Structure 1
Amino acid sequence: MTVQFLSAGDTAMVVQFGEVIDRVLSDQVLALSRRIRALNVPGVVDLVPTFRSLLINYDPTQVRGAQLQETLKDLLESEDTEPQAVRQWSVPVCYDGEYAPDLQEVAQTAGLTTEQVVQLHADTQFHVYMIGFVPGYPYMGDLPKQLVLPRRSNPRTRVPPGSVAIASSMTAVYPIESPGGWHLIGATPIRLFDIRHEAPALFKPGDKVRFKPVDSNEYQRIRDAVAADEYEVKCEEVTV
């Protein structure tokens, strides 16, 4: 593996590990991010993990780019030897009727029943690769191969918040209303982005996510509880 160090202006550097979406590359990106945070590397202001790279924002009055690059090279030579504790979320999703406008079409395209699509999606533990597009939007993989589909040919101009979607090898949840070209197969009543919290985005890169099917009545009950700030999304630490 050849790691590249790319300048992103005079206050940022990109450490690029590869050219594809791959769990091995994601693990390397997240491992470097952990090491930088653990050592509190001088001058580093912020870290932004992506599918295949780590964007490092730094203060040039505290550290020069060349100096930071040498520090990063040293960190890359070390390896994580201890198991890592990560957060695993259980997200309620209604895959019924109005909440899943593309589910029937997805099933037909994949040669499956709608029940099989739901089961495949709900039985998968997803890995949060990165947050992007809009605030709190999680790019999660990897979909079972039966559900790998191209984006819609006619994107929507408005996708409701909470929509659970799939495209390519990814699944995602729209945190806010926005345009979107992914297939909508369900909806969750929880908030994925809340500006009132110190960390507004619910998920972060490296988290694990499982989707729990609920019916429309349970969806409504949870939505009412969320609106009243009386619902907490289930989360536990797991070792990987």
Structure 2
Amino acid sequence: MRWLPYGTDAVLVECDSLGEMSAVRATVAAADVPGVVEVIPGARTVLVVARPDSKALPEVRSLVEAADLANPPSADPREIVLDVRYDGADLELVAETAGIGVDEVVSLHTGAEYTVAFTGFAPGFAYLTGLPEPLRQSRLDTPRTRVPVGSVGLAGEFTGVYPRSSPGGWRLLGHTDAVLFDPRADRPALLAPGDRVRFRSLR
């Protein structure tokens, strides 16, 4: 783990793994250190932003370095269920690559519980961990120039939902009508780090 200054009022914590990043984020979030204004996770990093002239950043570092990151604090996460029609353009490709049937792909995808590790790429796009091993597959060799809004896909160790139409290279399993991002809402992004997510099949 490395601690890098990020301007005068923030620090970037570089972690060795996604799991370590999640543990650092959970530890800092649970501590609610006075002066910390933002905790922003990435795939292998956590950005901690403090109010100017506060003593929060040294306190955060001491807290994390003394923590048992193998057993991070557990919050009371929100649980979100997304209804999905499993009719994606790559559903059969995912099944073929995994060496299983389409129905088993749907069963595996809906049978797991996922955790929002971090958000990015586009407003409201959440990277969900917990994808069953047979479904961990590479991105498409050639990304699509347009992926429809609400598309449910997977790539590598992650699954997620495209909150708007955009280019993308994830393998598409289906689509949901859930609104992942609404800038007019009190909480614009439906999913936030630490949330638990399940997919329910309408197929």
Aligned to 1:93: 84
Is 1:9 matched with 2:7? yes
Rounded Cα–Cα distance in structure 2 between residues aligned with 1:194 and 1:159: 18
AA matched with 2:172: L
Aligned to 2:121: 133
Rounded Cα–Cα distance in structure 1 between residues aligned with 2:92 and 2:67: 48
Gaps of 5+ in 1: 216-240
Aligned to 1:47: 39
Secondary structure, aligned partner of 1:45: strand
Secondary structure, aligned partner of 1:85: coil
- Listed as ranges, the matches of 1:1-240 within 5 Å are 3-16=1-14, 18-22=15-19, 24-35=20-31, 38-39=32-33, 41-42=34-35, 44-60=36-52, 62-63=53-54, 67-76=55-64, 77=66, 83-96=74-87, 100-215=88-203
Percent identity of equivalent pairs: 36
Rounded Cα–Cα distance in structure 1 between residues aligned with 2:166 and 2:124: 12
**Conservation of the 8 A alpha-carbon contact between 2:124 and 2:191:** yes
Summarize the Cα distance change of 1:81–1:207 in structure 2 as closer, same or farther, 3 Å threshold.
closer
**Conservation of the 8 A alpha-carbon contact between 1:5 and 1:69:** no
TM-score by length of 2: 0.90
How well do the aligned residues superpose, as a CA RMSD in angstroms?
A: 1.9
Q: How far apart are residue 50 of structure 1 and its match?
A: 2.2
Rounded Cα–Cα distance in structure 2 between residues aligned with 1:81 and 1:184: 33
Summarize the Cα distance change of 1:86–1:112 in structure 2 as closer, same or farther, 3 Å threshold.
same
Rounded Cα–Cα distance in structure 2 between residues aligned with 1:214 and 1:191: 17
**Conservation of the 8 A alpha-carbon contact between 1:131 and 1:138:** yes
Which structure is higher in helix share? 1
AA matched with 2:187: A
Q: How many residues align?
A: 200
Rounded Cα–Cα distance in structure 2 between residues aligned with 1:30 and 1:178: 31
Report the more deviating stretch, 73-82 or 197-206. Answer: 73-82
Summarize the Cα distance change of 1:82–1:13 in structure 2 as closer, same or farther, 3 Å threshold.
closer
Summarize the Cα distance change of 1:81–1:101 in structure 2 as closer, same or farther, 3 Å threshold.
closer
**Conservation of the 8 A alpha-carbon contact between 1:30 and 1:49:** no
Aligned to 1:235: none
AA matched with 2:44: R
Summarize the Cα distance change of 1:81–1:149 in structure 2 as closer, same or farther, 3 Å threshold.
closer
Rounded Cα–Cα distance in structure 2 between residues aligned with 1:78 and 1:116: 40
Q: How far apart are residue 83 of structure 1 and its match?
A: 5.0
Gaps of 5+ in 2: none
Summarize the Cα distance change of 1:33–1:54 in structure 2 as closer, same or farther, 3 Å threshold.
farther
